[in-house]
Structure 1
Amino acid sequence: MRSRSRTRTLTLIAAGVVAATFLGGAAAVAAPLIDNGWPYDHAVKADNAKTYTLAAVGDIACEPNDADNANNPAALKCGSPSLGGYDAEFATAKQALAMKPDAIALLGDEQYQVGKLSDFEASFEQAWGGLKFLARPAPGNHEYYSYTKKGDSETGQNGNGYFAYFNGHDQSGTPNATGQAGDDTADTQGWYSFDLGNWHIISLNAECNSAAFGNDCSTTGNGLLAQETRWLADDLENNHQQCTVAYWHQPAFSATTASTATVPASAPGAGGQEGGVTDAWWKLLYADRATLVLNGHEHAYARFQPMDPTGAVDTKKGIPEIIVGTGGEGLDSLAKNADGTFANPNVVTGYDQGYGVLKLTLTQHGYEFSYAPALKGAGQPASALDYTDSGSGDCRG
């Protein structure tokens, strides 16, 4: 039996019992057995092996147009014609529900603009609240950082609203120290892992340029991000599952930015300093022969070739990256060359005309994936709903 310090394990049992154990913390909680396979019956392959469904998406909920946000620009709030708004987040929530997922990987920026608890309650909760018990979230920059763009000026929450929403809080709104989003302490900021069938699933926090991380984005030394990186190394060392998927918010490799001042989109770190620190994570995952990396942040869908830590295509040991930033808040444009090809040559396919959720079917030795839009973006033609992407991959662990 594996030993993982500060690691959260989740076991989903098809017979109708859900048991969640927080190591070093609260006792397990089990739902009562009922006869309809709660929450969902598992699909079974021809060889009688159970499969599990993991839904994945990030960048979801618009900022509510309420009294708490009365002084913020209308263009950044729910109801703005340039954003997906409530229509989009309700559409993606409905799509995720139809997948009957065993768990939902939320890829950060669940709530805009700064993820206040009141914003989560007035927006994300309205569309996605019914799926909250299945959510396995990772935070994004909008849950940690200040937002001072486009005429707005809001103070960063350093994860307070995020943890208060997903982990619960006391009567004063102070987040619980542990819960569904992982530990919220001086030593841990929400990274955790769990098992689902034959899969090991890892949620990481890349929001290092925040007070909670001491504004320290170094993966070595004594800072919190360095501690997280060592935790990841230990977690992978103690992982005995054949299949591993990891997710965090800012991607290591970009699909919507042709280049930065110093880093090409196909090189690690193109997503800024947070994408840069994930270079260390990619090296660890690559050495562990991880199966898949999921990210958000870029408001589009993009699937990449399997890559080594330098961004070179490696079909034998490389890890595919899939960006799913189409949860509903808004859309970005994929970076393309003059001839229409993707600026990042490692992008296999991409979509930036609508909102949707990725469905992953986790099998004993691999996975199947499918993506289709649930709602087209503002001003997009009806044909925007025709896009689909699907396929399969093998585990290499």
Structure 2
Amino acid sequence: MNKVLKILILASISLLSVIYIGLMQFQAVKTAEVKEIEIKLTQSNGHPIIAAAGDIACSPTSLYYRDGNGTSNNCHQKATSDILLKAKLTAVLPLGDTQYETGAFSAFEKSYAPSWGRVKNISHPVVGNHEYVTAGANGYYKYFGVAAGDSSKGYYSYDLGQWHMIALNANCSQVGGCESGSPQEKWLKADLAAHKNLCSLAYWHQPRFSSGEHGNDSSYKAFWQDLYAAGVEVILNGHDHNYERFAPQSPNGQPDASRGIREFVVGTGGKNLYHFRNIQPNSEVRNNDTYGVLMLSLEPKSYSWQFIPEAGKTFTDSGSTPCH
């Protein structure tokens, strides 16, 4: 073997070694990228664990639906529902706009049912604006049945562990208003008076405060005033298709560490994601590129939260706070 040939062989071996090492490093990076976020909230001592998100299932006629598998940017309801199946949950809170575009019963059967419908038996939903594109939100009430409450109201309450849970209907024109003195607001005030739990949580679709495309909405100020007066801890909303966590605040949006309510906007259930527009005071954490669900551990005197992203994503948010 001549000297030139030996040099060529050695050079080839060196090049192959470099390529192999590079491929292994690339594979390690890819493996790290798809590693799932560990779910840290687990049931202990009987404390309820819940998961929530809104703005969930694409229309089965959408170009992005693709037999429920979606695309890189749209229709991730299957991926977010996979999180629900892996977690050991007490309850699931669908935060409205559960089925696009019109909330038709046939669409629920084709799109929502094979995804989030897999945890229907532990779901306590609230109705969104898209469900009312179908008259009376009939598709929504037919699909969820008694779990959605009285179809003429859409608001109800229940207890989980030592927590009181309040589901409200933010589609004000459909239920006689949301302002002070409206039938729903009177019901809310009476419900709060009848349930003096140390810890309480309320949820509905459209948020009072949001840095997202829809922004703030004062329509729900009366809800906030009643909930604040009663010492409620947490409010969950959807509507803006992103994740946002606020510091505890008053109904007027003033910081209030001692009695303020912490609001989460969790519009990351799968449909699509929105941009942020006007960043609101007291907004602590925001993300608009990750689908996922918010999990909460409802302990007797406190709560903990963790945002769990779909597989392959790394954004998360977690913390804990004592009840008032």
Distance across 1 between alignment mates of 2:71 and 2:168: 33
Of the three residues 177, 183, 190, the one matched with 2:150 is 183
Distance across 1 between alignment mates of 2:277 and 2:309: 19
How do 1:1-397 and structure 2 match up within 5 A?
43-44=43-44, 49-65=45-61, 74=62, 78-79=65-66, 81=71, 83-85=73-75, 88-145=76-133, 156-167=134-145, 179-185=146-152, 189-209=153-173, 212-213=174-175, 216-217=176-177, 219-220=179-180, 226-257=182-213, 270=216, 275-335=217-277, 343-375=279-311, 385-396=313-324
Please list the CA deviations of residues 33-76 of structure 1 after superposition, one character each: whole Å capped at 9, or x if unmatched: xxxxxxxxx833xxxx43110111111000012xxxxxxxx55x
Deviation at 1:97, TM superposition (A): 1.7
Please list the CA deviations of residues 141-173 of structure 1 after superposition, one character each: whole Å capped at 9, or x if unmatched: 00113xxxxxxxxxx332100000000xxxxxx
Q: Secondary structure at the match of 2:305?
A: strand
Unaligned runs of 5+ in 2: 1-41
Cα pair distance change 1:208/1:83, threshold 3 Å: farther
Alignment match, 1:153: none
- Over 4 Å off, 4+ runs: 80-83
Alignment match, 1:28: none
Q: Does the 8 A contact of 2:303 with 2:320 survive in 1?
A: yes
Q: Does the 8 A contact of 1:114 with 1:157 survive in 2?
A: no
> What one-letter code is carried by the residue in structure 2 that aligns with 1:350?
R
CA RMSD in angstroms, aligned pairs only: 1.8
Which one has the bigger helix percentage?
2
Alignment match, 1:380: none
Distance across 2 between alignment mates of 1:180 and 1:144: 17
Distance across 2 between alignment mates of 1:57 and 1:198: 22
Deviation at 1:375, TM superposition (A): 4.9
Please list the CA deviations of residues 234-283 of structure 1 after superposition, one character each: whole Å capped at 9, or x if unmatched: 000001211100000000001214xx8xxxx5xxxx2xxxx322100000
Distance across 1 between alignment mates of 2:194 and 2:252: 25
Distance across 2 between alignment mates of 1:161 and 1:218: 23
Report which of the two structures shows the higher radius of gyration computed on alpha carbons.
2
> What one-letter code is carried by the residue in structure 2 that aligns with 1:84?
N
Q: Secondary structure at the match of 2:77?
A: helix
Q: Does the 8 A contact of 1:116 with 1:157 survive in 2?
A: no
Q: Does the 8 A contact of 1:108 with 1:248 survive in 2?
A: yes
Deviation at 1:373, TM superposition (A): 1.4
Distance across 2 between alignment mates of 1:286 and 1:352: 28
Please list the CA deviations of residues 330-357 of structure 1 after superposition, one character each: whole Å capped at 9, or x if unmatched: 1001236xxxxxx213110011102000
Identity of aligned residues (%): 39
Unaligned runs of 5+ in 1: 1-41, 66-73, 146-155, 168-178, 337-342, 377-384
Deviation at 1:218, TM superposition (A): 5.3
Q: Does the 8 A contact of 2:178 with 2:223 survive in 1?
A: no
Distance across 1 between alignment mates of 2:77 and 2:251: 33
Moved more, 92-101 or 107-116: 92-101
Cα pair distance change 1:163/1:115, threshold 3 Å: same
Q: Secondary structure at the match of 2:285?
A: strand
Q: Does the 8 A contact of 1:99 with 1:359 survive in 2?
A: no
